[in-house]
């Protein structure tokens, strides 16, 4: 089916360039290196951006994109036309355009969107691209978390395209996609996913301490086995592995943005033994905490 019914009113291609926009595009060699580092089970990005109050924003790709495109509307509205449907996106709604799918999208004229977007690829996409349609992020603090994740992506790219930063970005991207896809699934399968929603909120309230499956069972009233099955089904990760990743994301943020030493960062996240914290950090991020903090920017 040919595209073309959802052009802007005057039929012209509208320009980019928005006040306070942020955008980062990897060079081909850096994108290839990022892809190689993530392997078969990760995500890599090629482009990422934020277009605030993007009046006149318009994109048309008749042959689609080689990467998946995640569009998340922070406020305002916009239109996405795909071969078999036209989708209206409003505030706190997201859509993923799969690789190779022809598309057109543009901002609403009366209420143009503020748009966070990323072009991503990698083997982990198969965990998330489980069905079409837009997602609405309605969970507590979901919008703020998405803004934080994208800000951390921008900060990390600006800090330097090191192997450790690429591995960290892989984790961040998987968290972004899990946020979008898992929360939409919660809305469609009420009665099974509220427990996962409850656990995620519990994780964010308790980043500064150790948590066990027993703690999660007491919090939710479910068995440890049931929690593990549900959490893996709707996030693609074991619950405690997901929690560790959140804590290491926080650690990376503190190492880059604060004057806290490694022991203080460890203690703030509930790790009494800084050496154990360093081993966990190195396994998740791919660098030691000190190497990560001192990596070239």
| 105-117 per-position pLDDT tens digit | 999 989 999 999 9
Residues 50 and 120 in one domain: yes
Indicate if the pLDDT at residue 137 is higher than 60. yes
Asked whether residue 198 falls in the same domain as residue 275, the answer is: yes
Cβ(59)–Cβ(105) under 8 Å? yes
- State the CB neighbour count (10 A cutoff) for residue 132: 14
Residue 43: pLDDT band by 50, 70, 90 thresholds? Answer: very high
Same domain, 123 and 41: yes
pLDDT value of position 41: 81
- Indicate whether 120 and 45 sit together in one domain: yes
- Domains in the chain, number: 2
CA distance 129 to 39: 18
Both 115 and 29 in one domain: the answer is yes
H or E segment and range at residue 105: strand 103-107
Rounded to 10 degrees, what is the CA torsion of 163, 129, 176, 218? Answer: -110
Domain membership of residue 98 (yes or no) is yes
pLDDT of 212 over the 90 cut: yes
The pLDDT value given to residue 186 = 42
Do residues 113 and 78 make contact, with C-beta atoms less than 8 angstroms apart? yes
Tell me, yes or no, whether 28 and 136 share the same domain.
yes
Residue pair 250/202 in contact (Cβ under 8 Å)? The answer is: no
Domain boundary among 107, 123, 140: 140
In a domain, 16, yes or no: no
Average pLDDT value for residue range 145-152: 87
Is there a domain that residue 173 lies in?
no
Structure tokens at 98: 């799969």
Q: Are 280 and 248 in contact (CB under 8 A)?
A: yes
**216 and 276 together in one domain:** yes
Range of the domain at 275: 189-294
This prediction has a pTM of: 0.61
Phi/psi-derived region of residue 100, left when phi > 0, alpha when psi is between -120 and 50, beta in every other case? left
Would you say 54 and 23 are in contact if contact means Cβ atoms under 8 Å apart?
A: no
pLDDT in tens, 149-205: 898 899 889 888 888 889 889 988 988 988 887 654 444 433 345 788 788 888 888
**pLDDT for 13:** 42
Please check whether residue 270 is in contact with residue 208, taking contact to mean a CB–CB distance below 8 angstroms. yes
Of 30, 9, 115, give the one whose Cα is nearest residue 72: 115
Residue with tokens 């997201």: 94
In residues, how long is the chain?
297
**121 with 198, same domain?**
no
136 and 193 both lie in a single domain: no
Higher pLDDT, residue 6 or 91: 91
Examine residue 171 and state whether it is found in any structural domain, yes or no: no
166 within some domain: no
Token pair belonging to 45? 């990005």
Q: Is 280 helix (H, G, I), strand (E, B) or coil?
A: helix
Domain end residue (candidates: 82, 117, 140)? 140
> Residue 229 domain-assigned?
yes
pLDDT tens track for 233-259:
777 778 999 899 888 888 887 887 778
82, 107, 140 — which closes off a domain?
Answer: 140
Q: Are 37 and 119 in the same domain?
A: yes
In the chain, the percentage of residues whose pLDDT exceeds 70 is 86
Domain assignment present for residue 286? The answer is yes
Nearest Cα residue to 282 out of 244, 235, 256: 244
**What CA–CA distance (Å, rounded) separates 98 from 22?**
23
Is the separation of the CB atoms in 65 and 121 below 8 Å? Answer: no
**Shared domain check, 208 and 119:** no
Say if residue 87's pLDDT is above 50.
yes
Average pLDDT of the chain to the nearest whole number: 83
Q: Are 287 and 164 in contact (CB under 8 A)?
A: yes
Here the tokens at position 57 are: 């924003």
What CATH number did the domain enclosing 59 receive? 2.60.120.10
Where residue 220 sits, what CATH number does that domain have? 1.10.10.60
pLDDT-based confidence at residue 139 (cuts at 50, 70, 90):
low
Do both 130 and 30 map to the same domain?
Answer: yes
Cα Rg of the chain (Å, integer): 20
Domain membership flag for residue 7: no
pLDDT of residue 19: 61
Q: Which helix (H) or strand (E) holds 47?
A: strand 44-51
């Amino acid at each position: 089916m040919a595209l073309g019914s959802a052009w802007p009113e005057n039929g012209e291609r509208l320009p980019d360039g928005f006040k306070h926009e942020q955008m980062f595009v990897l060079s081909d060699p850096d994108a290839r290196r990022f892809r190689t580092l993530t392997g078969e089970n990760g995500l890599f990005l090629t482009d990422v951006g934020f277009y605030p109050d993007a009046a006149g924003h318009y994109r048309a790709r008749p042959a689609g994109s080689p990467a998946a495109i995640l569009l998340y509307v922070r406020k305002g509205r916009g239109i996405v036309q795909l071969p078999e449907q036209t989708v209206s996106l409003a505030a706190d709604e997201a859509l993923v355009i799969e690789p190779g799918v022809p598309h057109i999208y543009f901002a609403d004229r009366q209420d143009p969107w503020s748009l966070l977007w990323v072009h991503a690829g990698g083997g982990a996409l198969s965990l998330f691209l489980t069905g079409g349609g837009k997602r609405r992020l309605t969970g507590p603090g979901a919008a703020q978390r998405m803004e934080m994740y994208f800000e951390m992506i921008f900060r990390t790219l600006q800090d330097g395209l090191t192997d450790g930063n690429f591995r960290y970005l892989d984790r961040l991207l998987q968290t972004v996609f899990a946020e979008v896809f898992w929360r939409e699934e919660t809305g469609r399968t009420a009665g099974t996913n509220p427990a996962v929603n409850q656990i995620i909120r519990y994780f964010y309230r308790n980043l500064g301490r150790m948590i066990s499956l027993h703690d999660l069972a007491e919090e939710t009233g479910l068995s440890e086995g049931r929690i593990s099955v549900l959490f893996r089904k709707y996030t693609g990760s074991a619950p405690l592995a997901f929690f560790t990743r959140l804590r290491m994301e926080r650690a990376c943020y503190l190492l880059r943005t604060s004057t806290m030493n490694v022991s203080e960062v460890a203690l703030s996240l509930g790790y009494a033994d800084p050496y154990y914290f360093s081993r966990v950090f190195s396994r998740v991020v791919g660098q030691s905490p000190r190497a990560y903090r001192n990596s070239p920017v």
